[in-house]
Structure 1
Amino acid sequence: MSAGAQGAGASVACHRLMHIYPTAASDVIALSGVDLRIESGEMLALVGPSGSGKSTLVSILGGLMRPSAGRLFVGDHELSRLSTGQLAALRGTLIGTVLQGAERNLLPYASLSRNIWLAQRSAVRVSDRRLDPPERILELVGLGGAGQRRSGELSPAQRQRAALAQGLAAGPRLLLVDEPTSQLDHAGRDEVLDALETINAAHGTTVVVVTHDTEVGARLGRAVTIRDGRVGAEGRGGQDFAVVAGDGTIQLPPETLATFPSGTLFTVDHTEETVTLRVRGRPTTDSDGPSGAGAPGPAADDLA
């Protein structure tokens, strides 16, 4: 995209985001106070098992759903307060979304160039930005010269890169990509990640990828784990960190929880740079007892 078509990537700020799905039996809490900051031009992976809330979070980031509570900013826009029409205007312009399954993003009967052109035509109605021609966008994702081909003529990795091109059609500042490598072998996965890195390097686009693959998170540089509707551990540069949420809660990494389950009692000692947790009570195994009411043990285990 030309310099006039796209500026720096958009920052993202989530403040205590909550989302509840009402059901006949009971309400389901998909997000429970998510606090998350993504810097302009950053590449980030949202990692977590099915049902953890990451797809709900991405749908809200993309303006496809409204949070039940909390505030969401993408760039200078507070999405949580915009009207339906205003959100529609931002989808595909400020925000580009690539759905899981490349075929869901592409019209199978149209050429790749026409797919991109159709997405651009819709965006031009609400934006006066000058957009790059489809062929230049295809070159960006490594599909130069393939503009007249249809999605059915491509390999799985090529189809996924074509879906990325579709998401880039209107020069978004934030690109949301849902499970782009889940059906690919290692070589295909690397092709898609190479394309995402090229997009980010060329235009500063902020890229958020939903994935089950921890290796994808490591490749992108920052990985945020979503667990039980909250931000859990965070990985940066190959190192894992626990994260303090806005309400003061902290989710320990899964390997720690396997040793110290819910209900474990700790004392907390801290200095400016160090926090030490000492086990003072294990959760009771008596089914009639209150959860987490274990008796203090005489010895303390350290968890620094």
Structure 2
Amino acid sequence: MNAAPQDGRTTATRPAGGVAVTCHRLIHIYSTGAGDVVALSGVDLRISPGEMLALVGPSGSGKSTLVAILGGLMQPSAGRVYVGDHELSRLSSKGLASLRGATVGTVLQGAERNLLPYVSLSRNVWLAQRPAARIAGRRLDPPEAILDLVGLAGAGARRVGDLTPGQRQRAALAQGLAAGPGLLLVDEPTSQLDAAGRDEVLTALATVNAERGTTVVVVTHDGEVGARLGRAVTIRDGRVGAEGRNGRDFAVVAGDGTIQLPPETSAAFPAGTLLEVDHTDQSITLHAVATPSSLDGDDGVANISGEPGHAL
């Protein structure tokens, strides 16, 4: 029961390589009984093939919604998203199912949600491979090779209940990697792990990226996890708020020309503050010349005296 299918298509193969991801002005609105909720409000994002990226932000910021759209699990309300050569809004339900079965691997938050507890780990991986194994010419690794890739060599006969939390999460990664996807989406893989378990999972992801070239996108609220993945994109209020690369933080200009100020800066300059913009070749300086409290009460016009404002 633990063996890989013997149909001639499931054999060891070269690394699959990563796919690129592009989001353009992505918007998603939920309708609830209390009204509409804007989960994403104009996300512009480019992810290179083979890149490792963290989506960082608090609960409710839009991270998981964005990943669900990238994985073809929901359609955006507006905007375009490309995974490799596929524009997801143009795919039929069958096309999206094929994408999820072969090109995109998704690991849900909570390792147990990805695994069947009553069969072995090898069987879990084999079951996840079945949709891709039906594609003519598709070649897949044996389950044991995928388990080895995430640091679970020799554990194929074990079941979920026999594993430590860190091992369970790595088994969930193996399930997401079963079909050899070019894009792996992982939702909060370290949220319930201790430091040792977290390191095991991050090491497994780095190995997958290095050996297979897989594009890896990780949702996390842990800034340290984001820093270790090389590039961290902060999602705040449904938009890309900032990026961290190689220990440096950057604000990001969106496709519509807007920019989110860092939280510590925006707290000092409330909504409605008038900013004067000075720019040279590669530098931009913002001067706060009026705040909402300085507006004239009668006509709503800012009382700008001409004195220098505060530079941001």
Q: TM-score, normalised by structure 2?
A: 0.92
Q: Distance in 2 between matches of 1:46 and 1:204?
A: 19
Distance 1:13 1:293, change over 3 A: farther
CA shift, 1:175, in A, is 0.1
Q: Distance in 2 between matches of 1:15 and 1:188?
A: 35
Match of 1:180 in 2: 189
For residues 85-131 of structure 1, the C-alpha deviation after alignment (integer angstroms, 9 at most, x for no partner) is: 10001103100000000000000011100000111123212453111
- Does the CA-based 8 Å contact 1:175-1:207 persist in structure 2? yes
Match of 1:169 in 2: 178
Match of 1:268 in 2: 277
Worse-matched range after superposition: 127-136 or 216-225:
127-136
For residues 39-82 of structure 1, the C-alpha deviation after alignment (integer angstroms, 9 at most, x for no partner) is: 00000000111111111100000000011111111001111211
- Does the CA-based 8 Å contact 2:30-2:37 persist in structure 1? yes
What stretches of structure 1 of length at least 5 have no aligned partner? none
Q: Distance in 1 between matches of 2:297 and 2:102?
A: 55
CA shift, 1:237, in A, is 0.7
Match of 1:140 in 2: 149
Match of 2:286 in 1: 277
* SS in structure 1 at match of 2:55: strand
Match of 2:115 in 1: 106
Residue in structure 2 matching 1:20, options 9, 21, 29: 29
Q: Distance in 1 between matches of 2:155 and 2:301?
A: 64
Residue in structure 1 matching 2:204, options 195, 202, 205: 195
What stretches of structure 2 of length at least 5 have no aligned partner? 1-9
Q: Distance in 2 between matches of 1:163 and 1:294?
A: 57
Q: Distance in 2 between matches of 1:228 and 1:293?
A: 29
Q: Does 1:67 align with 2:79?
A: no
CA shift, 1:29, in A, is 1.2
Q: Does 1:240 align with 2:249?
A: yes
How many matched pairs? 301
Match of 1:83 in 2: 92
Specify the code of the residue in structure 2 equivalent to 1:162. A
- Does the CA-based 8 Å contact 1:106-1:151 persist in structure 2? yes
* SS in structure 1 at match of 2:235: strand
Specify the code of the residue in structure 1 equivalent to 2:212. H
- Does the CA-based 8 Å contact 1:92-1:167 persist in structure 2? no
- Percentage of identical aligned residues: 73
Q: Does 1:117 align with 2:126?
A: yes
Q: TM-score, normalised by structure 1?
A: 0.94
* SS in structure 1 at match of 2:43: strand
Q: Does 1:53 align with 2:100?
A: no
Specify the code of the residue in structure 1 equivalent to 2:265. T
- Does the CA-based 8 Å contact 1:5-1:131 persist in structure 2? no
RMSD: 2.0
- Does the CA-based 8 Å contact 1:102-1:163 persist in structure 2? yes
Match of 1:211 in 2: 220
- Does the CA-based 8 Å contact 2:13-2:141 persist in structure 1? no
Q: Distance in 1 between matches of 2:209 and 2:118?
A: 30
* SS in structure 1 at match of 2:154: coil
Q: Distance in 2 between matches of 1:274 and 1:166?
A: 47
CA shift, 1:252, in A, is 1.0
